[in-house]
Amino acid sequence: MFWQQVVNGLTAGATYALVAAGYTLVFGVLEIINMAHAEIFMIGAFIGLLLVTGTCCPVWAAVAGAMIGAGLLGWALERLALRPLRKQGVSHLAPLISTIGVSIFLMSLAMKIFGPQSVRFPASVEPRFFNLFGTVNISLLQIVILGISLALVAALKVLLARTRLGKALRAVAENPEAAGLMGVNVNSVMAAAVVMASALGGAAGVLVGLQFNAVSPTMGIAYGLKGLAIIIVGGMGSVAGAVAGGLLLGAAEVLAIAYIGSSYRDAVAFIILIAVLLIKPSGIFGKLEGRKG
């Protein structure tokens, strides 16, 4: 049963990692915390839901549609709430507040359109099970969720390491002024970072919707807080840290429920996170010193 619980924890953790990767990408490149990320995640879940129930679409198309929709939303967010502030050279707190504003707006909008009730995904993946090593039953749904999340994070990692855009992103993350002087279009690179982060969030929304069948306008809040905790523990700006932190938090939560009791879930999970920070204050994959603006 222990390994069964580990599998449960890792599937939950994989979606946390996906949410956290979005936070970490925006933080790494723009050096701001995007408080609207959790609500973009929620809107992504609703877009996926509409695609699956409304028309045709299989799971992969719902994920792709949610990524496109959430990506567009991320682009709008960058153009309307982040770029104007950046131009005026205001403090780092201003975009924090403006993204909080966007997050409240998106949540109210979703309440208005979809109502406050949770809605469920139709059973789009059959409940089929695979037996591993005789003791662990992993469901097809769990495999789909683990597979899609890890594939997306891996794709992000490759994009950052191998492509021109990735190089530009890393250059802007290192030093935007210098990157600009070298001919990198800093504004578009920052927009690209927010769009990619939002697309990851949208995909995570669909996967969480599939996994727990609860899509509601307030679903982002808990995931947003977890995502923030994960990037701090994983190391701000590190994609590998987001994955490690996400899986750690997911496993810690599930094992706490299984072996200690559900009321201690958050307490145990966060004690572990604090312990990690005490040992390594910059986070698992964090560098000791961040970039100095």
Partner 1 sequence: MSLNKRILTFLSICLSLALLVTAGCSSPSGPGGGAPNDAAGEIKIGVVATLSGDGADYGVSIKRGLETARDRINGAGGINGRKISLVIEDSHGDKNEAINAVQKLINRDRVLAIIGPTNSGEMFAAGPVADKAGVVIMGTSNTARGIGEIGPYVFRNSLPEDNIIPITVRKSKEKLGFNRVALLYSSNNDWAVSSAKTFEEALREQGVAIVETQTFADGDTNFQAQLTRVAAAKPEALAVSALYKEAALLLIQARQQGINLPVMGGNGFNDPELIKIAGEAAEGALVGSPWYAGKDDPAVRDFVEEYKKRYHTVPNQFAAQSYDALGIMAEALKTEGAAADRARFRDALAAIKDYRGVTGRFSFDENGNPLMDAVVLQIAGGTYREVK
- Chain residues binding partner 1 by CB under 8 A are 1, 4-5, 8-9, 11-12, 116-120, 122-123, 127, 129, 137, 139, 141, 208, 211-214, 219, 222, 253-255, 257-258, 261-263
Write the CB contacts of 173 (distance below 8 Å, at least 6 apart in sequence). 28, 29, 237, 291
- Tell which residue, 267, 240, 241, 232, has the closest CA to residue 252: 267
Q: How many C-beta atoms lie closer than 10 Å to residue 166's C-beta?
A: 15
Residue 119 φ/ψ, nearest 5 degrees: -115, 155
- Tell me how far apart the alpha carbons of residues 136 and 5 are, in angstroms, rounded to a whole number: 9
- Tell which residue, 199, 158, 243, has the closest CA to residue 26: 199
Closer residue to partner 1, CB minimum distance, 123 or 154: 123
Q: How many C-beta atoms lie closer than 10 Å to residue 236's C-beta?
A: 21
Closer residue to partner 1, CB minimum distance, 169 or 219: 219
CB of 289 to partner 1, least distance (A): 37
CB of 137 to partner 1, least distance (A): 7
CB of 61 to partner 1, least distance (A): 21
Closer residue to partner 1, CB minimum distance, 135 or 185: 135
CB of 118 to partner 1, least distance (A): 6
Helices (H), the chain: 2-30, 37-54, 59-77, 83-87, 93-114, 140-162, 164-174, 176-181, 186-212, 219-234, 239-259, 265-279
- Tell which residue, 166, 151, 132, 134, has the closest CA to residue 200: 151
Closer residue to partner 1, CB minimum distance, 4 or 188: 4
Contact 236, 24 (CB under 8 A): yes
CB of 193 to partner 1, least distance (A): 29
Give the tokens for residue 183. 């001919």
CB of 75 to partner 1, least distance (A): 29
CB of 231 to partner 1, least distance (A): 21
Closer residue to partner 1, CB minimum distance, 218 or 282: 218
Contact 199, 77 (CB under 8 A): no
CB of 265 to partner 1, least distance (A): 8
Closer residue to partner 1, CB minimum distance, 63 or 219: 219
- Tell which residue, 266, 279, 198, has the closest CA to residue 19: 198
Q: What is the Cα 12 distance to its own chain's centre? A: 12
Write the CB contacts of 252 (distance below 8 Å, at least 6 apart in sequence). 9, 268, 269, 272, 273
Name 40's bridge partners: none
Closer residue to partner 1, CB minimum distance, 120 or 162: 120
Closer residue to partner 1, CB minimum distance, 108 or 185: 108
